[in-house]
Structure 1
Amino acid sequence: MRINITSVFVDDQEKAHRFYTEKLGFVTKHDVPLGGGARWLTVVSPEQPDGTELLLEPDAHPAVRPYKEALVADGIPAASFAVSDVEAEVERLTGLGVRFTQPPLNMGDVTMAVFDDTCGNLIQIAAQG
């Protein structure tokens, strides 16, 4: 068994697509119109084009927005992405206008930071070592 697809709920798929590709560097894997303006829109790491897909899922369900707002209010990331160097990635992303809500924090064997994805989520980046 392996993880094939995971998702983040986004308030605007096109805005999310631009952020996740232009700022974070992911590449589009699938972009299939579903009707009503929604799309089956997934991105992947360019380092693993056949790896786990991230579905940029519309947050239209009535339960989703209160859930997302509660996570953000409590500072809880919706997802975590691995990077090789958190400090370097924070510098790169800050240069692209990404707003961090938690600067790099060393927690022993792991360094992490948290940013706002502009689509209603906090996202964590982390590196081991």
Structure 2
Amino acid sequence: MITKLNHVSVFVLNQDSALDFYVNKLGFKIHTDAPMGPGMRWLTVCPPEQPELEISLMPIEDGMMFKDGAAEQMKELVKKGTFGFGVFECNDLLATYEELKTKGVVFKKEPTKEFYAYEALFVDDSGNWFSLCEKKKE
């Protein structure tokens, strides 16, 4: 029986730039940064309050995963915001929204009260988009 998810991948255009974005703008912590074969790197980050969930910042490069020009196609799709949807939670959406905007995070949707939560939408430096939510108080 499956008991939990502990890793998830986000495809990024550049690992160094993504690392800077996720650590210095979103406030995540580096979990693992290790060489993995010639020219490869296993790089994961995690939200400070959720160290058991590692987000792998996965580069899009020709090789094992992408063959015959698929990497270039995938890069174009990521740039267009086709992949990378996820939901991050915070305790105070307005404060977090203002803090992230000050750090240069680009928002596609300002904080809005929705039926499911108070939400804003932002994109990372590769084009992946995410929801930032404050759950409804019960």
| 3-state SS in 1 of match to 2:121 | strand
Q: 2:82 matched to 1:68? A: no
In the alignment, the residues of structure 2 paired with residue 5 and residue 23 of structure 1 have an alpha-carbon distance, to the nearest angstrom, of 21
In the alignment, the residues of structure 1 paired with residue 96 and residue 132 of structure 2 have an alpha-carbon distance, to the nearest angstrom, of 8
Of residues 102-111 and 59-68 in structure 1, the stretch that sits farther from structure 2 once superposed is 59-68
Query: What amino acid sits opposite 1:123 in the alignment?
Result: F
Give the TM-score normalised by the residue count of structure 1: 0.86
Q: How does 1:3-18 map to 2 (within 5 A)?
A: 3-18=5-20
Higher strand share: 1
TM-aligned CA deviation for residue 94 of structure 1: 0.6
In the alignment, the residues of structure 2 paired with residue 36 and residue 78 of structure 1 have an alpha-carbon distance, to the nearest angstrom, of 30
| Contact 1:10–1:57 under 8 Å retained in 2 | yes
Equivalent in 130, 134, 137 of residue 127 of structure 1: 134
Query: Which consecutive aligned stretches of 4+ in structure 1 deviate over 3 angstroms post-superposition?
Result: none
Of residues 90-99 and 117-126 in structure 1, the stretch that sits farther from structure 2 once superposed is 117-126
Give the TM-score normalised by the residue count of structure 2: 0.81
Q: Which has the larger radius of gyration?
A: 2
Q: How does 1:1-129 map to 2 (within 5 A)?
A: 1-49=3-51, 51-60=52-61, 61=66, 62=70, 64-69=74-79, 72=81, 78-129=85-136
TM-aligned CA deviation for residue 35 of structure 1: 3.6
In the alignment, the residues of structure 2 paired with residue 77 and residue 104 of structure 1 have an alpha-carbon distance, to the nearest angstrom, of 20
Query: What amino acid sits opposite 2:126 in the alignment?
Result: C
Query: What amino acid sits opposite 1:8 in the alignment?
Result: V
Root-mean-square deviation over aligned CA pairs = 1.9
Q: Which runs of 5+ in 1 are unaligned?
A: none
Q: Which runs of 5+ in 2 are unaligned?
A: none
In the alignment, the residues of structure 2 paired with residue 78 and residue 105 of structure 1 have an alpha-carbon distance, to the nearest angstrom, of 18
| Contact 1:77–1:114 under 8 Å retained in 2 | no
